[in-house]
Amino acid sequence: MATKTTAEKLATIQQGYTLEGATIELGAAIIDGELHKDAPVRLPLAMMNRHGLVAGATGTGKTVTLHMMAEQLSTAGVPVFLADIKGDLSGLATAAVGSDKLTARTQGIGQPWEGKAFPVEFLALGGDGNGVPVRATVTSFGPILLSRIMELNDTQESSLQLVFYFADKNGLELIDLKDLRAVIQFLTSDEGKDKLEELGGLSKATAGVILREIVNLEAQGLEKFFGEPEFNTAELLRTAPDGRGVVTCLELPTLQTKPMLFSTFLMWLLADLFEDLPEAGDLDKPKLVFFLDEAHLLFNGASKAFLDAITTTVRLIRSKGVGIFFVTQTPKDVPADVLGQLANRVQHALRAFTPEDAKALKATVSTFPLSDYDLEETLTSAGIGEAVITVMNEKGAPTPVALTRLRAPESVMGPADDALVRSTVAGSALLGKYGTAVDNPSAYEKLTGKGAAPTGPAAPEPSGGGPAGQAAPAGYDVDAEARRIEEEILGRPSSRPAPTPAPAPRAPQPPSEPQSQPGGMMGDLGGVLGGALGGGLKSMARSMGTQLGRELLRGVFGTSSTRRRRR
């Protein structure tokens, strides 16, 4: 194969990044050691929901890359979510000040630069930090994600799913950790032993292990992350009055002691968005771009059920207009099934100091298309603020690989002033909604008798001294919900019969048992839920009966938000 001249390489990149629609400007190409500002490298805005990867060794500029991309997305009217683990991205709220060094860089790549501030919303997980508190109810968080935080094994995870099933079936609201603790204590008590035996797959010994793990979470102070008011993920989709997308920064200053909690909460946000958003098809720009920093924390030691659920979410959320960018050190930090769905790649420099580093370098090179670069040499010699890039063009094909000097952000690179963050939080419309925790009557009060159960259509009827069954809310269309969930999970039209006009009102009749037909909805959905949620729910998914609607409300991760339950 003949070696290309510099002019030929330049023409290849210029042609490959000539795009028609709106774009995110990433920088200018470096070819044969020379910077070419007449060879801009771009990412089509419409392709950002094809997901992406921003990777590179520590200190190579990944955070600045997120910063720069978030600015342009906001300007284009696209809301952005950033997991701001170190607080470095809060500078988006402050306009940067120019310097001679900055001017030289921006002129070199042909970037018209102007200091700007961007609309930023600061969130803090459980109120741990400077931001509007973000909480989730335990029932919304679901058994798979909670098992991840508790580091349960597969058997214990499956058993926890049975506990959630019991609580759902009996109208026991799991709002915070004390609710979950109360349910397990009831099941392991003399009063609840019959209920425990009915669950079959849940042994008293395993329930005791789960109970100890819950107590351990409480001892670590993690109970403040669970409760009400629950954060509505629709808040992430807002735009400012001037039309720019709001950049939401979520921080957890004590990440060092709670890395699993942080990464799993990020996945809860994504799962809740996935369940809430309607199908959108191909859009001119995404509804939201979600940057998931320290992505390796999400996958380390993850169960098969957890990995399967991540893969499903990443694959399907694209059609709902959400783009996900995983941020980590090397592509090998991301499972192959997920990595294969990340069409846009920004790879900063890698180090090759050890044999393990060398293996990671070779693996990274193998994930790129053929190019005119010696990628092993390029990736180890790239400077700070430079990256090897290939993205999906408007026709769905990969663009040429280009070593790129990246654009400079127009807001402050680094933490914002604490006073600015506090004033921004104090003026946030979200503070009134989520600033103060509330403790409504729930499973703990029902089981211990220390508070009155809520009244209204959703309140269960008392039955002796234990929890009682609860019917679906009035007006709840079980068949419609079953069809919707089946189509989303199985990716094909529902096998359930189309709805027929409702007959005239009549006296309630006892519910009939669902027919179990090979290849039908109950069999297929039972298999899917069994695979995604673990063996503990497989038989339940195939024998749902009158509880069909309620169990179907649990999504791919076993999540079940208050909003969806009330619809």
pLDDT at 285: 95
pLDDT at 259: 74
Q: Which amino acid is at 192?
A: G
Cβ neighbourhood burial of 39 (10 Å; 0-12, 13-18, 19+):
buried
Cβ neighbourhood burial of 464 (10 Å; 0-12, 13-18, 19+):
exposed
Cβ neighbourhood burial of 99 (10 Å; 0-12, 13-18, 19+):
exposed
- Residue 274's alpha-carbon distances to 153, 168, 290, 526, 535, in angstroms, are 26, 21, 12, 20, 23
CA 7 to chain centre: 43
Mean pLDDT by 10 residues, the chain (567 residues): 85 95 96 96 96 94 95 98 85 95 95 96 89 94 90 90 92 94 91 85 86 88 91 96 96 72 87 90 93 83 82 91 93 91 95 86 91 94 95 95 97 93 94 94 89 41 37 41 44 50 41 37 37 40 34 56 54
**pTM for this entry:** 0.79
- Residue 220's alpha-carbon distances to 148, 217, 257, in angstroms, are 16, 5, 9
The span from the CA of 47 to the CA of 19, in Å, is 12
pLDDT at 565: 52
pLDDT at 307: 87
